[in-house]
Structure 1
């Protein structure tokens, strides 16, 4: 058998390290060539690392949350001795095998090769969940299981209930199903590797519960879970901390009558949606921002607070806050000042889908000069948006609602929407912020102004 080391490939120009966010394999797993081994993240791009050989996983290069250098050991795979030497994971970060005197790959000596279980007994992560596995036996405990002695035998199934301080192994879907049914997974015997609980194990327990059943048919909840903040969520936390700690926010909330712009939008969609695509309110708001910052260029800017320099941009690059399965990200619609309504709508849709699929490029996630944030139909009456550092302004869209509005003689049903706009008070005075918000209000309430060249 040959022991092949797969290293972390070059995941982007100029990137020296990446954060390990998830393992798709565990020690002892059999993998095939091109199977995904794990996922790393650099900046806001998640990258899957594939296997270049088939074989058995014998060592992992870290745990989720660890930072790995490019070229560092990612996994070690034991493959057939007659198998050809594996191709490098990338041209800049080739794999290497431990070679003996005659150049033939040889196993590394000792039980603690890089990526194997640490000597202090800390647990390997549960693949797919990021949760720690049950602790390994200490030096004074009973003899380890066969899988721990040889690294080849499968772990024994768990046939007992776990103790209060032990966490059961199960996939997220199994955990969710157990939560919905009020079942404590520590009471369920898992028949998978290392006692991993499957849907079949859960079915068997539901059909014939052994212990802990209360009169309601639901077990009391005593579980808790510690979740490590890593990957996209950690980057979001870091950026929000910078924005909140460095920027003194001033937020202005203004009520806007969007009846006219909604009527126009409906008419344009009825006549042009089939050929040009459907319009939302965001392209109209984007055009309003372009018109407003033309009069107040200090709002279309970024502030380097360390150098004490404000960079005002002639181009209007609008960041669109987008919720993705991995967290909030901000793809950038570039040169909004040059786009028509339909071009802006198409670019917003393309970038949002690319971000949700995790395929947005690095330059599509940076360089914004002002941002829009919207919770869509889930939006509240008002929000207090956090500025996307190092920008100096952000416009928040709240939900629309038909409300009675007094016109001086009677109450009329009008479609109303609140705009919540936040500004960096170090750079933008309250008066200038109010002027900007009123300009947006006037443009949206009289949408014909959006199309008049001044």
Structure 2
């Protein structure tokens, strides 16, 4: 039998380390070749680490949440044959021996030596008899049956009144359940319970949850964005009645896509994406990344729109690359494909990176207005709020219209308030007259 060391492999170009987010095995497990041992995360992409050999787990080199350098040992296996770790004095190993900590076996602590005098003294001490139910102070705090009047002296009743205690909730330790001062003190020491009529009890539990994986990545990114970018948020109301009517008509048509198959069902997002492309053509500075350390604004020609998506693991941002070269149906198909990949956890690092401007939407839960956080190092983010039917004055009467707010944030170091307003007003005009979106 030999030992085989598994090191953290290269999980992506330019990646020097990764965070361990999940173990699929434990010490003592028997694993087979290609069985998944662990999962690591970098740049919001999760990578599974398989076993290259059969063997038994002897050692695990990191804990959940640890950052592990590429090439570091993470698993040691006992395998048939020599393995890839040679003993000293053997043949030349294919790689230098790796010194790994060996788990210490759990052993019983040796009995402490007690001096003879102390042992003799301890022998004289006899255990105290259990407290009598009639004399011991009860801490159960069980409330009395309905209508039963608690027994207590006037002094005890005054003490309870001053402390805000309902004596019906205090168990008495005196004869016939009489409540004494010691019972009041015991009740205060453990904390008063809520009256039995409500059926509620206090919960003082505190659970410590380690921030790991995607949640830690999100926390780091949000901290970076809010600490470095001075946000300005602009909220505008959009009448999407005509857009919704056009969308319903287009979705009823069963037409083939250019690549074969039926065209995808259109949501609001493809229309917004095409409107953003047209607005960015007039204001290309909105499609930029700001390197604040170098003091350089990288203004991109390609419009790569990130779509913030909620997944079971947390928020991720898959990216629709080159939206300027996609028509409305192509945008819709790509959004649907990326959303499914993000939710299933199969999105690649390339699909989750490279955005130049982002859309965030909470769908039906979008609220009336939000204050989106810019996806650093971008300079703008467009927030979609929920659609609602509201009465709108048309000059002679109130009529029902489908209204929606856009809540958008901008990097005020790069984008002035006037520029932000012009950008959103251009998008508003396109969405309210959706035929313009199709005019080149």
TM-score by length of 2: 0.73
- Structure 1 401/75 Cα, relative in aligned 2: closer, same or farther at 3 Å? same
Q: Distance in 1 between matches of 2:9 and 2:244?
A: 50
Q: 2:234 aligns with which of 232, 247, 252?
A: 252
Once the two structures are TM-superposed, the CA of residue 78 in structure 1 deviates from its matched residue by 2.0
- The match for 1:31 is 31
* Contact map agreement 1:396 1:421 (CA 8 A) in 2: yes
- The match for 1:272 is 254
- Structure 1 103/325 Cα, relative in aligned 2: closer, same or farther at 3 Å? farther
Once the two structures are TM-superposed, the CA of residue 34 in structure 1 deviates from its matched residue by 2.1
- The match for 1:41 is 41
Where do 5+ consecutive residues of structure 2 fail to align?
113-195, 257-261
- The match for 1:188 is none
- Deviation track 1:219-243 (CA, whole Å, cap 9, x = no partner) reads 9755432111122111111111111
Once the two structures are TM-superposed, the CA of residue 99 in structure 1 deviates from its matched residue by 2.9
Q: 2:404 aligns with which of 414, 417, 420?
A: 417
* Contact map agreement 2:2 2:81 (CA 8 A) in 1: no
Q: CA RMSD in A?
A: 2.8
- Deviation track 1:166-216 (CA, whole Å, cap 9, x = no partner) reads xxxxxxxxxxxxxxxxxxxxxxxxxxxxxxxxxxxxxxxxxxxxxxxx999
The 3-state SS of whatever aligns with 1:399 is strand
Residues 1:101 and 2:83 aligned together: no
- The match for 1:224 is 206
The runs of at least 4 consecutive aligned structure 1 residues that moved more than 3 Å come to 102-105, 115-119, 136-142, 214-223
The 3-state SS of whatever aligns with 1:97 is coil
For residues 355-366 of structure 1, the aligned pairs below 5 Å read: 355-366=342-353
How many matched pairs?
A: 349
The 3-state SS of whatever aligns with 1:272 is coil
Residues 1:241 and 2:229 aligned together: no
Q: Distance in 2 between matches of 1:141 and 1:348?
A: 67
Q: Distance in 2 between matches of 1:223 and 1:39?
A: 31
Once the two structures are TM-superposed, the CA of residue 328 in structure 1 deviates from its matched residue by 1.1
Residues 1:386 and 2:369 aligned together: no
Larger Rg: 2
- Deviation track 1:4-53 (CA, whole Å, cap 9, x = no partner) reads 22221221223222211111111222222222111111222111111223
Q: Distance in 2 between matches of 1:368 and 1:434?
A: 22
Q: Distance in 2 between matches of 1:362 and 1:44?
A: 7
Q: 1:114 aligns with which of 94, 100, 106?
A: 100
For residues 53-452 of structure 1, the aligned pairs below 5 Å read: 53-79=53-79, 83-84=80-81, 96-103=84-91, 114=100, 116-117=102-103, 221-272=203-254, 275-452=262-439
* Contact map agreement 1:60 1:114 (CA 8 A) in 2: no
Once the two structures are TM-superposed, the CA of residue 420 in structure 1 deviates from its matched residue by 0.3
- Deviation track 1:268-302 (CA, whole Å, cap 9, x = no partner) reads 00113782110000000001101111111111111
- Structure 1 295/54 Cα, relative in aligned 2: closer, same or farther at 3 Å? same
